[in-house]
Amino acid sequence: MRYTDQRSPGNIRWARRAVHAVADVVRECNYAQRRMLELRLFGRDHDRAPDTYAEFLFRSPATLWGEPSAPRRATGACPHK
């Protein structure tokens, strides 16, 4: 039996392989992104405090608020409003 239309078994097999290959790449990228986020947030030694302030900032999961200057703190200004 000869297939002449676009849905021949060979074309369908090739399309399935291509879809599976793309799905594998997306799955691997998702895993890598999750793992990178875990390492960045918790570090490799998540049971140990950071050694330096730079390491603390690198591990910090949220944006840090800047502390207001001394004169501004003296006036009672709140930086988070």
For residue range 20-72, list pLDDT tens digits in order.
999 999 999 999 998 888 777 766 666 677 788 887 777 666 555 666 677 87
Which one, of 48, 75, 53, 80, lies nearest residue 65 by Cα? Answer: 80
> Taking a C-beta distance cutoff of 8 angstroms, is the pair 79, 68 a contact?
yes
Tokens of 42: 């918790």
Q: What is the pTM of this model?
A: 0.45
Which one, of 27, 23, 60, 25, lies nearest residue 43 by Cα? Answer: 60
The pLDDT of residue 81: 47
Instruction: Tell me the one-letter amino acid at 10.
Output: G
Tokens 């990178």 correspond to what residue? 36
